[in-house]
């Protein structure tokens, strides 16, 4: 890959000049101080905190070289910032010894135009400062954060700022003291403001209060629009649930008019097959921008040069898929998503086809169309194939609870909240399937009132999603509880369409194996064999997903497979009792998978 550095630089210079470029183009590492990576599937963290000296000793040469290469790649991809640690932040990240180590990383990345940021734990004043509170209204807490900011900027003058996950999934936050998101974010912003730092405050919030989880971020943040400090940016996941293979755009992007925002994508494949399955994510991200433009069609800024980016959407973050494996992402084709993120961050209007073909030429160092053409098509088909064999037609959140890798729509854990269970989302019953998020009743056994999630969307999306007849069929089960015998636009029933869609995904995954086998003459035998094992596993997993989901939903539909749908490869007993022990390996080592 080093041989292609110059061509990457030339490519980056070209695409930086195209269309709308985000001011902030950041990687978010979900890396922990102990070297593990949350939702990381390429080995352990590249940040070797135990090997980085906190004193005047120089960085070990091997680490320095690795971080320099990381900086070069990000510069080439057009990325200008990196958050080093997990949003589930440990207070130790702000300790003086860790900040001295962070300074060494910042010094290495600075020549490549990469600013360093840190995720912070809101309760750090209690953990590190000998205070008995983290109340943002307490003057001692405010002073603690100001002194900590001063310390950071003495060490790292160009430090970017803080990323904060607060009052979400058990993380501490201002609501612990009956304060608001505004109170917490603005207190941190005041500490950073003299230094030019920013606060990226995540909007990923959902509580146990009940109701539709897809509604909660909007409900919690919409009333604060215009109240955040100028150096606060609300970081919002692309969809309203949690990085599902397909989601509609989070309605919060349409609701916040006076607040700076940035979108958070997930480069690491938490819900799309980890680093084993090939799933090129550029089409997903461009789908987001296309829908954003549709929902804001009347906004004058969107009429200029066809840009899909609003003036107050100033940043883009990607949860990194990087680890300490030699090829960074444990799967050569997963590298395409790191590359694609940089391209999309610099110009959301660039076509997925252009991004895919450019990546293949540069990464594999070939211009042979015998390789480029079929592999470009494979990448372009891969995301839709994953949706088809995992969660088609708007199904979501039906993965295995422990690892998010395989299917478990039947999951029922004693003591778990209802909104942690798949049945909360798929709502399968003898009448039909899907979550009613409309403003009206729909037929189902467990109550038929809609959550009115559609009411959070502007026109024309509100009307489009609210009606089964107009709702995009790739989202129909997201917004509607649809009867099994409902006639879809191709004239077939929902059940038959569900079966055929799963079948199509399985066929596509099998075709990927055949396509890759034809690529053998173009690459080294080692790279060929490594990728072949992944494609073979993807095809096996596609069959597992298809059989598990259809066997489960068949218990509700009580309908046979369509006549031309293949027989099940697995039995219900087999899929119900098949459990992966994901704690025994990382996906970087595919050979350990059973």
Which residue in this structure is represented by tokens 């040469």? 61
Q: Report yes or no: 186 and 232 within 8 Å, Cβ to Cβ.
A: yes
What residues form DSSP beta bridges with 318? 27, 265
Instruction: Tell me whether residue 418 is one of the annotated catalytic residues.
Output: no
Q: Report yes or no: 389 and 381 within 8 Å, Cβ to Cβ.
A: no
Q: Report yes or no: 293 and 3 within 8 Å, Cβ to Cβ.
A: no
Rounded distance between C-alpha atoms, residue 108 and residue 59, angstroms: 9
Instruction: Tell me whether residue 384 is one of the annotated catalytic residues.
Output: no
Residue 467: asked if its preceding bond is cis (omega within 30°), the reply is no
DSSP 502: H
Rounded distance between C-alpha atoms, residue 204 and residue 504, angstroms: 33
C-alpha torsion sign, points 315, 316, 319, 321: negative
Q: In what helix (H) or strand (E) does residue 544 lie, and over which residues does it extend?
A: helix 525-557
Instruction: Tell me whether residue 270 is one of the annotated catalytic residues.
Output: yes
Rounded distance between C-alpha atoms, residue 47 and residue 45, angstroms: 5
CA 319 from chain centre, in angstroms, equals 6
Rounded distance between C-alpha atoms, residue 58 and residue 105, angstroms: 11
Rounded distance between C-alpha atoms, residue 431 and residue 415, angstroms: 28
Instruction: Show the tokens assigned to 196.
Output: 């030019």
Residues 6+ apart with CB under 8 A from 440: 450, 466
Residues for the chain: how many in total? 594
Helix axes 139-155, 181-192, angle to 10 degrees: 40
CA distances from 571 to 134, 543, 548 (A): 54, 12, 8
φ, ψ for residue 234, nearest 5 deg:
-85, 120
Q: In what helix (H) or strand (E) does residue 295 lie, and over which residues does it extend?
A: helix 282-295
Rounded distance between C-alpha atoms, residue 562 and residue 558, angstroms: 12
Rounded distance between C-alpha atoms, residue 182 and residue 113, angstroms: 31
User: Among the options 220, 247, 270, 287, which is catalytic?
Assistant: 270
User: Among the options 23, 51, 151, 169, which is catalytic?
Assistant: 169
User: Among the options 68, 158, 225, 242, which is catalytic?
Assistant: 242
Active site residues: 169, 242, 270
């Amino acid at each position: 890959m080093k041989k292609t550095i110059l061509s990457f630089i030339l490519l980056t210079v070209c695409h930086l000049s195209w269309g709308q470029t985000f001011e902030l183009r950041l990687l978010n590492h979900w890396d922990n101080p102990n070297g593990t990576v949350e939702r990381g599937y390429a080995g352990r963290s590249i940040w070797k905190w135990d090997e980085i000296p906190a004193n005047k000793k120089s960085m070990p040469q091997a680490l320095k070289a690795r971080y320099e290469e990381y900086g070069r790649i990000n510069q080439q991809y057009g990325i200008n910032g990196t958050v080093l640690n997990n949003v589930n932040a440990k207070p130790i990240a702000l300790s003086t010894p860790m900040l001295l180590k962070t300074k060494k990383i910042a010094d290495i990345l600075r020549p490549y135009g990469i600013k360093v940021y840190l995720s912070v734990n809101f309760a750090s004043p209690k953990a590190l400062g000998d205070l008995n509170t983290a109340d943002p209204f307490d003057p001692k807490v405010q002073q603690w954060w100001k002194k900590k900011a001063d310390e950071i900027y003495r060490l790292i003058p160009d430090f970017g700022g803080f990323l904060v996950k607060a009052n979400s999934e058990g993380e501490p936050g201002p609501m612990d003291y009956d304060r608001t998101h505004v109170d917490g974010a603005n207190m941190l912003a005041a500490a950073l403001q003299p230094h030019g730092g920013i606060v990226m405050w995540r909007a990923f919030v959902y509580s146990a209060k009940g109701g539709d989880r897809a509604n909660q971020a909007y409900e919690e943040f919409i009333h604060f629009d215009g109240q955040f400090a100028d150096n606060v940016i609300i970081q919002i996941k692309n969809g309203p649930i949690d990085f599902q293979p397909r989601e509609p755009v989070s309605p919060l992007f349409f609701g916040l008019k006076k607040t700076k925002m940035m979108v958070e994508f997930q480069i690491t494949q938490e819900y799309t097959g980890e680093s084993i399955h090939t799933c090129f994510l550029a089409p997903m991200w461009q789908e987001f921008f296309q829908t954003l433009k549709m929902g804001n069609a009347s906004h004058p800024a969107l009429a200029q040069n066809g840009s899909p980016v609003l003036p107050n959407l100033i940043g883009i973050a990607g949860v990194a898929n990087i680890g300490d494996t030699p090829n960074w992402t444990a799967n050569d084709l997963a590298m395409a998503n790191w590359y694609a993120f940089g391209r999309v961050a610099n110009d959301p209007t660039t076509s997925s086809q252009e991004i895919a073909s450019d990546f293949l030429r540069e990464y594999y160092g070939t211009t042979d169309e015998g390789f480029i053409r079929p592999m470009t098509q494979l990448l372009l088909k891969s995301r839709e194939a994953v949706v088809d064999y995992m969660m088609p037609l708007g199904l979501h959140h039906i993965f295995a609870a422990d690892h998010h890798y395989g299917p478990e729509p039947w999951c029922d854990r004693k003591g778990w909240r209802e909104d942690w269970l798949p049945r909360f989302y798929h709502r399968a019953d003898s009448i039909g399937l899907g979550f009613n998020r409309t403003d009206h009743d729909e037929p189902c056994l467990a109550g038929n009132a809609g959550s009115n999630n559609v009411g959070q969307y502007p026109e024309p999306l509100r009307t489009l999603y609210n009606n089964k007849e107009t709702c995009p069929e790739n989202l129909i089960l997201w917004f509607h509880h649809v009867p099994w015998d409902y006639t879809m636009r191709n004239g077939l029933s929902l059940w038959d369409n569900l079966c055929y869609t799963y079948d199509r995904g399985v066929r596509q995954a099998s075709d990927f194996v055949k396509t890759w086998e034809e690529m053998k003459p173009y690459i080294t035998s080692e790279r060929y064999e490594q990728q072949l094992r992944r494609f073979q596993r993807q095809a096996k997993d596609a069959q597992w997903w298809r059989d598990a989901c259809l066997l489960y939903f068949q218990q509700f539909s009580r309908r046979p497979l369509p006549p031309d749908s293949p027989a099940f490869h697995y039995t219900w007993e087999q899929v119900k009792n098949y459990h992966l022990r994901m704690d025994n390996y990382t996906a970087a080592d595919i050979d350990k998978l059973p």
